[in-house]
Chain A
Amino acid sequence: MLDPGILRRAFIEAFVKLDPRHMVRNPVMFVVEVGSLVTSVAFLVKPGLFVGSITVWLWATVLFANFAEAVAEGRGKAQADTLRRARQDTVAHVRRPDGTIEEIPSTELQVGDLCVVVAGQIIPGDGDIVEGIATVDESAITGESAPVIRESGGDRCAVTGGTGVLSDRIVVRITSEPGETFLDRMISLVEGASRQKTPNEIALDILIFGLTLILLVAVATLEPMAIYSKAIQSATVLIALFVCLAPTTIGGLLSAIGIAGMDRLVQRNVLAMSGRAVEAAGDCSTLLLDKTGTITYGNRMATAILPVGGVTESELAEAALASSLADETPEGRSIVDLCENRYGLSPPAIGEAELIPFTAQTRMSGVDYEGHQIRKGAADSVRRWVEELGGAVPSDLTQVVAGIATGGGTPLVVADGTRVLGVIHLKDTVKAGMVERFEQLRDMGIRTVMITGDNPLTAAAIAAEAGVDDFLAEATPEDKMALIRREQRGGHMVAMTGDGTNDAPALAQADVGLAMNTGTQAAKEAGNMVDLDSNPTKLIEVVEVGKQLLITRGSLTTFSIANDVAKYFAIIPAMFLVAYPKLKVLNVMHLSNPHTAILSAVTYNAIIIPMLIPLALRGVKFRPQDGAAILRRNGLIYGIGGLAAPFIFIKLIDVVVTASGMH
């Protein structure tokens, strides 16, 4: 997780970041830096082992915090470097309106330029394919080595600059300004350069600032009280007390948590346009998913054949096989598969055959050979065709067809001339593991709504099989918008995935819109996240990352505050022991002497930051549970644990410091 190169660079960065202009952006650590400066001066004026040790650990506190930030940034930078390699300037072959091809550097491309890209070339900029079809290697951005197909028109026309064309020739219309391409945005995103603070982060900053302020006041006003009590304190001790009490643990790790959170998202191949969207994902309570391609494989498969009117199963199977031999659609292939595998048929040798292709008018396809007139198609079409030829329809056909439709399947009726042979049961198969995923979502308090163009009957059957909570059947883009608005009015945050241009308005309206990278440019612009893997169930992981981000911040803040109790018990008795020896009863940890007590607290306060870096980068584990259970768990670990841990560690450090014999 941490490679030595990153750590080495982060070590140097930690010192570079001591620049006050950088530090001032993090008020807690800035005040600690000022405190370190003051004790440094105190040490120079009057050197001493105690002042010296305190000063070293105060500087260490600041450096550790800087180191945490630098490590998180370093990991992003490493990714950015990889991406930058893909962004190397390429030559664009721009086709001018008069048809001439002009070579210009990709950095001078304008929106609207048409670029010709042939096999072996790099696509010079983001855009939509307007001509042609090509296999594209997108591994530079997705890390996925298998090439993908991109073609003009439809929902798979978007290409990204920096990816390479492997075959064929395409013409791309450029849709983004140079410097603002997808790749550029991705680089600045993983580098954390354009990192905007999220709403929750700003609110937490205010809390941390407020805590720092009140503790500064509490420590500053302690001096007059100490003077009154004839137990005047040195600046070093007061600064040590303040630094221990100030929320340095969370203050030092906060930016690392944020950077690492976005980083985790990038590792899952999701690009969020803003951290705000990631946080919003954690708040979502309604998830809209397209059925096709998301919940189901999207291609209906033949799962059974049902003969009617006394026809034998094998006769039907033979006819079905014959009718599908020329059918290259996934449905057709699945019928061939079914017949070959289940009925052991081998493709008949058809000599003189006439293939009848599917048309929107006939809604049937088939084959004429050796006197057979095999047709398969929608029930009413085939029925009409048989009746027109003078055939009779068996009485049980209606029942079989209705049975399949009710179960969410699609019936394909097979006929041979005037005889209806039976029905092929086509079924849209629910992807494996979907039921568990929806179960998981329910545990997170998220209701899933399936969106489908199917009729309500089919939709209901698939919804039940997949285990979604609700469905929207025969959905038009307007219906989708209406559903999102209704959910939002009901107080729900809505997340949805989409890829088509007609999804764009809904993606924009949803609180979280996850666009598929394979989708159109319009969809990608409208959403606030893009999934490079184009896996719609990725939303679940986005939700987890969003929640994890907040949980980590909240838990470490609680930990930081709870820690202060033990630090008080270490430092306060030490401060006043000279004036009031009896206060030693408050020295519950039995720390050896005032100097080791204060030094141990300051040391603990510093080293807890690097100790927690792995947790900050990894994030606190999120388990789908109800709110109270999560609070109980994290409250016990980080609240009660935060109370107890420093008592143990400070005592241990005190033992070590005392054993060293220096103090």
Chain B
Amino acid sequence: MTGWDWGQLAFVSAVTVVVAPLLSRYLAATFRGGPAPGDRVFLPVERLAFRITGIDPDSGQTWRGYAMAVLAFGAISVLFLYAVLRLQGVLPFNPTHAPGMPSGLSFNTAASFITGTNWQAYSGETQASYLAQMAGLVVAQFTAAGVGLAVALAVIRGISGGSRTIGNFWADLTRSLVRVFVPISVIAALVLVSQGAVQNIHGFRTAATVAGGTQHIPGGPVASMEVIKLLGTNGGSFYGAGGAHPFENPNGFTNMFDLLLVIVLPFAIALMFGRLIGRRRQGRAIVVVMAILFAGHTLISMQAEAHGNQLLPASVSQVASGHNLGGNMEGKESRFGAGGSALMTVGTMGTTAGATDSALDSYTPIGGAGAFVAILLGEISPGGDGGGLYSMLVLVLLAVFLAGLMVGRTPEFLGKKIRAPQMSLIIAYVLALPIIILVLGSLSLVLSVGTKSILNPGMHGLTEVTYAFASAAQNNGSAFAGLSANTPWYNTMLGLTLLAGRFVPIVLSLAIAGSLAGARVHAQTRATLDTAGPTFVAFLLGVILIMGGLIYLPMLILGPIGERIVG
């Protein structure tokens, strides 16, 4: 890694360390209940929304009620987005004359955006109208983020609270949007525009090029989508090329700014958890685990990419000289360099964003493995908005169970005992997605409907297929490329996977929260397991890595690790 790469990593870390705690303070004040910052502006908006929709924000829901509300909202959203995409050709505000999307693609896209996955089987410039982008996809990106944060709030209330109810979904969703996602997006979009990201509504412009040809230059409301794509850990870009497109991600600064937009909020949500339960150490302990994992997979990939690709022929120079930035530059933008590209791309892989600024298919085996591992560990470094926290909390409960037994007490977290009912749900949560990924991934490797889509044979091909299912199951949305996923088999299986990957964890984590809601809180004594101290942090990291390793190591050895060794 070059000094410049280290510098970028240091910059991102420093900004996160300063901003995340500040943001967590704002979040905690906003969601604690009672007067909150910005009430003068936000309260009238919320009241209006509640009056129009007839929501009583103070009526608490049980976990079942909350989960039903999330599912109902998800179903309605999918239907609405599906209709917009199908009808965009006849709807107004379509300067690029995009036709209505076919039914399969519309469903895939709708499900993908509602789940925050943003697996994009279409290309934004040509296949989505401005209306569909702004009123459909961007709205979905906002609500997907809002739902994630809302569920996290409900889980926090259940795990730590003394009441059987865990909040009101509609109120949580509204507050998340009005007080977090919309205001931050507005500010951040202005920053991006100031750096050169485009934000207009005038369709393609035709330009005569120096070489004498003509070029269609796309415009569009890009910055506004870019912001929520990142802030909402969604990952879906206006343009097909994503973060590699200069109108979206103009320079090295926006590259780092984009990464920060993705990761700061999930870290801040984890810290908010500590504040809301009145144990800030607990929030910090979770952030430390997230940060260590983040540093791990990001550094591995940055090192690998900066070091260069052993599989490239010797004629390709990977040593920095002149305009050559050095490292494995295939599939990367020279604006960012090998290390910087890996930082942005793999940095977002531990979240559900999976926003990329470079082609993962061209990464070195180990560079790609960094991204893959980040997804396989369950996206907890730092994870999606809200999703990162509730996924991590489930792993914390699992580690608490083992560690709690080891100190000789019935395991308890925040004073509440973890017993058989919770354990069943925790195990279901931990097993659900790996089973989907392994079963569907391995089936696709032996069925001809699966194998015929593989571009690269051998170990790289295995990675292409299994990565696709991991990305869909964890709602990451990034693609290892190479795989021709636009087939009935993959559309169906990936579509089902991403719906399951979103809603199974949500329902299970709400169920865990519900089973703990109102449970007897046991007093803390010196014999109680300290779930915020360094010993537990190390134990939790061990549990996460060993569990992940046990499940996925054979697959990784036949995929990227084997590719690195065998060459």
Contact = CB atoms under 8 A, between A and B. Distances in A.
Interface of A: 199-200, 202-204, 206-207, 209-210, 213-215, 217-219, 221-229, 231, 245, 279-280, 282-283, 285, 443-447, 490-493, 546-548, 550-551, 553-555, 557-558, 561-562, 564-565, 568, 572, 576, 580, 582-583, 585-586, 622, 626-628, 630-632, 634-635, 638-639
A206 B462 contact: no
A203 B461 CA distance: 40
Given A229-B462, A561-B550, A627 B526 contact: yes
B401 A631 contact: no
A282 B549 contact: no
B521 interface: yes
22 contacts: A199-B419, A203-B422, A207-B427, A210-B427, A214-B430, A214-B435, A217-B434, A218-B550, A218-B551, A221-B439, A229-B462, A283-B409, A445-B525, A446-B527, A447-B525, A554-B405, A572-B557, A586-B557, A628-B535, A628-B536, A630-B406, A631-B535
B41 interface: no
B431 A444 contact: no
A444 B565 CA distance: 51
Given A582-B566, A631-B536, A491 B523 contact: yes
Nearest to B457: A228
- B interface bracket (residues with beta carbon within 8 Å of A): 35 or more
Contacts of A217: 431, 434-435, 438-439
Given A207-B423, A445-B525, 18 more contacts: A200-B405, A204-B423, A206-B423, A223-B442, A225-B442, A225-B554, A227-B445, A279-B410, A493-B522, A547-B409, A576-B562, A580-B562, A583-B562, A585-B565, A628-B530, A631-B407, A635-B539, A638-B406
A550 B412 CA distance: 13
Interface string B369-406: 00000000000000000000000000000100111111
Contacts of B79: none
Chain A CB count within 10 A is highest, among B402, B415, B424, B462, for: B402
Nearest to B520: A491
A639 B551 CA distance: 18
B459 interface: yes
Given A491-B522, A580-B562, A445 B527 contact: yes
A514 B308 CA distance: 69
A445 B524 CA distance: 9
A112 B554 CA distance: 69
B525 A446 contact: yes
A197 to B, nearest CB: 9
B529 interface: yes
A554 B443 contact: no
B406 A206 contact: no
Nearest to B532: A628
Contact of B408 (A204, A226, A548, A628): A548
Contacts of A279: 410
Interface in B523-567: 523, 525-530, 533, 535-536, 538-539, 542, 546-547, 549-555, 557-558, 562, 565-567
B441 interface: yes
B546 A627 contact: no
Given A491-B520, A631-B536, A554 B403 contact: yes
Contacts of A204: 401, 405, 423
B446 interface: yes
Contacts of A200: 405, 410-411, 419
Interface in B491-538: 520-523, 525-530, 533, 535-536, 538
B410 A580 contact: no
B553 A572 contact: yes
B565 A572 contact: no
Given A224-B442, A491-B521, A551-B406, A245 B550 contact: yes
Contacts of A639: 539, 542
A213 B431 contact: yes
A445 B526 CA distance: 5
Dominant secondary structure at the B interface: helix
A219 to B, nearest CB: 8
A210 B446 CA distance: 26
Contacts of B520: 491
Given A210-B431, A548-B408, A562-B546, A228 B527 contact: no
A283 B411 CA distance: 9
Chain A CB count within 10 A is highest, among B430, B527, B552, for: B527
Contacts of A282: 408-410
Contacts of B565: 580, 582-583, 585-586
B401 A207 contact: yes
B61 interface: no
Contact of B438 (A218, A572, A627): A218
A225 B555 contact: yes
A443 B525 CA distance: 10
Contacts of B551: 214-215, 218
Interface in B467-500: none
A421 B454 CA distance: 109
Contacts of B415: 491
Interface string B314-339: 00000000000000000000000000
A550 B527 CA distance: 13
Contacts of A632: 535
A386 to B, nearest CB: 53
Interface in B323-368: none
B418 interface: yes
Contacts of B526: 443, 445, 626-627
A627 B527 contact: yes
Given A225-B445, A565-B549, A627-B528, A557 B405 contact: yes
B527 to A, nearest CB: 3
B187 to A, nearest CB: 42
Contact of B405 (A213, A221, A222, A553): A553
B525 A490 contact: no
Contacts of B547: 561
B434 A214 contact: yes
B52 interface: no
A221 B409 CA distance: 37
B550 A550 contact: no
A360 B386 CA distance: 73
B535 A576 contact: no
Given A206-B427, A245-B550, A283 B536 contact: no
A551 B407 contact: yes
B451 interface: yes
Contacts of A580: 562, 565-566
B439 A627 contact: no
**A-B pairs with the 6 shortest C-beta distances?**
A554-B405, A445-B527, A547-B408, A445-B525, A210-B427, A491-B523
A438 to B, nearest CB: 14
A209 B547 CA distance: 14
A550 B405 contact: yes
A550 B418 CA distance: 13
Nearest to B430: A210
A221 B535 contact: no
Contacts of B525: 285, 445-447
A444 B439 contact: no
B532 to A, nearest CB: 10
A553 B406 CA distance: 8
B420 interface: yes
B427 A492 contact: no
Contact of B442 (A199, A221, A490, A555): A221
Given A628-B533, A638-B406, A203 B442 contact: no
A229 B528 contact: no
A443 B526 CA distance: 8
B397 to A, nearest CB: 11
Contacts of A546: 408
A177 B153 CA distance: 55
Given A207-B427, A550-B409, A586-B565, A626 B527 contact: yes
A444 B528 CA distance: 9
B546 A228 contact: no
